[in-house]
Amino acid sequence: MRIHLCGVRGSTPSPGAEFARFGGHTSCVAIAHDGGTAPVLVLDAGTGLRRVSGLLEGDAFRGTILLTHLHWDHVQGLPFFAAGDRPDADVRMLMPVDGDDGLEPVDVLARGMSPPHFPITPRELRGRWSFEAIKPGVHEFEGFVVTVAEVPHKGGPTVGYRVDDGRQAVVYVPDHGPPSPEELDAAVVELARGADLLLHDAQHTAEEWPGRFHFGHSSAEYAVATGLAAGVGEVVLFHHDPGRTDAELDRLLDRFQDAPVAVRVAVEGSVLDRT
Ligand SMILES: [Zn+2]
Ligand SMILES: [Zn+2]
């Protein structure tokens, strides 16, 4: 599979020269079956979703978008997704919702995307769109086996995804606020077990984490420890703090030069081929 990192930032976009190299768009990852094909599976719809249109070479998007949760940094690219907002688009979108309020998933999404917050609602996107709830378990989307697990995070139901094409597996856990900094989350370790790539929340450093623990995110060290426990091939530090400059991200990577698992820092616009 070919994995396009279209947005790697957490919380809010980070424009500016000091963020240009790692990128400022919020969470979005687009997956194609191999290098020669268009992405058909998109994980999260942060502002990085705008970049997915550019990968389609003028075509409409026809595929599935899976949201980990509905926080702004994971949905605000939706109304700006040119390849999805046109008459020939065909998009299936799934998201975790708790269902307690009796609202349809599209109505939960519309609470943040409708007047007066935004000029249009999700139902007004052009093309064919469907909006569905997703539950933990094993599913199949666009020819991939997708395993869904609940992930602890602050403010609404959140899931992580494991995408498997029968040869390689990538695990995506962009927002993860474990109940304790000392304890690895068993469900996340299980989701990532033996995967080739683990894209994991690395919003904080170990030093910052105690003062920011209540934000509901992980430290880079916690992300690496999770990858190590799960026996993954490589940990990709993801969901960078919006204030983390390029120079700081370079230094963050330096911390893991001698780690017993390969570690890289997610760079917007980069492409990871796993065949
Ligand atoms: Zn986030
Ligand atoms: Zn979040």
Q: Provide block-wise average pLDDT over 10 residues at a time, the chain (275 residues).
A: 98 98 98 91 98 97 98 98 98 92 93 96 98 97 98 97 97 96 96 98 97 96 98 98 98 97 98 93
Q: Which ligand is nearest to the CA of 156?
A: 2
Minimal CA–CA distance to 3: which of 43, 49, 61? Answer: 43
Q: What is the whole-number distance in angstroms between the Cα of residue 95 and the centre of ligand 2? A: 13
**Proportion of the chain in helix, strand, coil states, percent, rounded to 5:** 20, 30, 50
Contact 184, 221 (CB under 8 A): no
Q: What is the whole-number distance in angstroms between the Cα of residue 235 and the centre of ligand 1? A: 18
Instruction: Please return the burial class of 73, using the count of CB atoms within 10 Å of its CB with bins 0-12, 13-18 and 19+.
Output: buried
Q: What is the per-residue pLDDT for 275? A: 87
Q: Which ligand is nearest to the CA of 154?
A: 2
Q: What is the per-residue pLDDT for 102? A: 87
Residue with tokens 């999805």: 84
Structure tokens at 234: 């490589």
Q: What is the whole-number distance in angstroms between the Cα of residue 33 and the centre of ligand 1? A: 26
Q: What is the whole-number distance in angstroms between the Cα of residue 69 and the centre of ligand 2? A: 7
Rounded CA gap, 233 and 227, in Å?
Answer: 8
Q: What is the per-residue pLDDT for 33? A: 96
Q: What is the whole-number distance in angstroms between the Cα of residue 215 and the centre of ligand 2? A: 9
Rounded CA gap, 30 and 36, in Å?
Answer: 14
Q: What is the per-residue pLDDT for 34? A: 87
What domains, with CATH codes, occur in the chain? 2-273 (3.60.15.10)
What residues contact residue 142 under an 8 Å CB cut-off, 6+ apart? 40, 41, 63, 64
pTM: 0.97
